[in-house]
Chains A and B, each alone.
Chain A
């Protein structure tokens, strides 16, 4: 007699833990043949609220880490994702019914994407900041800083690569994220959360909600403690209301006009969308009194 498999319960990822939805709700996820893959947590408004609290509490640690440290942690994510490659490929195949080669290509691209962003953390200041040649006796520099808590609606174009492509630039800049996964692919998304949880990513840095983006995103778009929104995964006709809600607290909104080609080499728009430029000025002088004679 065949062994009965042990089915996995897919839960949310909040503040470094994997709780069920506080609402107790779940939804069934089926593979392309119609078989039940899993029950996934159907996140609620309150889960979203808890996720924002977790993301806010994770921010000081993550934004305060050195860029080198953030880069190492993100590279560790790539290592762990690579280690879980077979699992994730299988889930992608199940979830989308794609050929194994195609699923492998997606997972490989996702690993490489993580590596790409792991290498960005300590370059951002050089590329998007620097010393300003101001016309006065001041040292002035501008440097990018994280925007804060970013809510991400992951695109469902495919199970993994759009998710990774949205979350990693947010993290590379030092932000923390509340991610609403593609409703169709919670198993892949939660598995990615497990990768994060085992990769030295501090608790609260990424908080993953599964369920209905259309239900959850309005709460995040209007939340006073969310600083940025990535609406890539939201259909165009639903974006207007979210962008309006975002305006109430002047959130930064990344709402790409074109459907992204997730397989293409990344630019920097996603990074810059959630970076604030801070300019600091400080007087320069105090070496001699001679400069004062030229009043």
Chain B
């Protein structure tokens, strides 16, 4: 299935274009008044409608080869994450080994996309995954609350990038967003993006605190226009974390941006994705809401840890022809 509407050729990772995006979508300026006009002029989201659509798409029945392919794709999209106060170098190294080779006993199992850690663990992780293709992502900007000064957030970001992070997962200032101070959020994302250098920036909206789909849509556009390479649902520290309908709204945002400008951006639901069934439901949504070109680890990620083992179990079931059990895959 190919989309019918003519679209501009995608500009991959259009960092250079970031500065031009606001003008391309008709944003008048980055002051609060202009941002309000643009963001609050976006079409509303009907909550019941989007939830019904998400639920219906989740009933897609994915079988056989498609299921095998999507399991591998899902594994390759995972940002394998540990974000605990009790994280140690040993824990992080174990996680990295798991990311590189999730299932030692089953050859051909893909690596995950990245490991995701706190800034002070980036160096450990970078060393552990060096040369494997697995990326190191670091949360930053006073994660998870984001309640600090911009200086601290930028310092946090630089700490991560200088330690070798390929990707930075920042949090937006939800307080500023909810207070209508869109310019502060925009400015912070823009500044953090600048501090990232070559690292890709994931902007965590913390949708559970935004509380409405209209807010999710506005925050998505705000983050995208300010230069975020990804929009990401959640820190994993707030319930609800990622949900299918919230992810629908975010997928629609990147799709709309793409249709409008030809610039493709990525989405990362995080938290709450625990089973293979969950993961496949998300990938069906990626396929049918955003489009097939998002079915790539560069354009879609899962922020998760537990889901990997379920994906591995299902992968074994698919390849071995019988059900496996949790004792047969490693707990790291």
A and B touch in the complex (CB under 8 A): yes
- Point out residues on A near B: beta carbons under 8 Å: 137-138, 283-286, 288-293, 295
> Chain A residues with Cβ under 8 A from B243's Cβ?
289, 292-293, 295
> Chain B residues with Cβ under 8 A from A290's Cβ?
239-240
Bound complex: CA A288 to CA B213 (Å): 9
B326 within 8 A of A: no
> Chain A residues with Cβ under 8 A from B58's Cβ?
295
Q: Is the CB of B54 within 8 A of A283?
A: no
B69 within 8 A of A: no
Bound complex: CA A288 to CA B208 (Å): 8
Q: Is the CB of A295 within 8 A of B51?
A: yes
B:35-79 near A, CB below 8 Å: 46-51, 54-55, 58
Q: Is the CB of A284 within 8 A of B211?
A: no
Q: Is the CB of A289 within 8 A of B46?
A: no
Bound complex: CA A252 to CA B289 (Å): 47
CB distance from B307 to the nearest CB of A (A): 15
Give me 8 A-to-B residue pairs in the complex whose CB atoms sit less than 8 angstroms apart, sorted by A's number.
Answer: A137-B48, A283-B47, A286-B212, A292-B47, A292-B246, A293-B240, A295-B58, A295-B243
Given the contacts A286-B212, A289-B207, A289-B213, A295 and B48 also touching, CB distance less than 8 Å? no
B312 within 8 A of A: no
Q: Is the CB of A289 within 8 A of B211?
A: yes
A-B contact count (CB 8 A): 52
Which residue from A137, A283, A284, A292 sits with its C-beta under 8 Å from B245? Answer: A292
Query: Which 3 A/B pairs are nearest by Cβ-Cβ distance?
Result: A283-B48, A292-B245, A285-B47
B263 within 8 A of A: no
Which residue from B211, B212, B281 sits with its C-beta under 8 Å from A295? Answer: B281
Bound complex: CA A295 to CA B242 (Å): 12
CB distance from A284 to the nearest CB of B (A): 7
Q: Is the CB of A292 within 8 A of B54?
A: yes
Bound complex: CA A289 to CA B207 (Å): 8
Bound complex: CA A248 to CA B228 (Å): 64
Q: Is the CB of A295 within 8 A of B245?
A: yes
CB distance from B151 to the nearest CB of A (A): 32
> Chain A residues with Cβ under 8 A from B51's Cβ?
137, 285, 291-292, 295
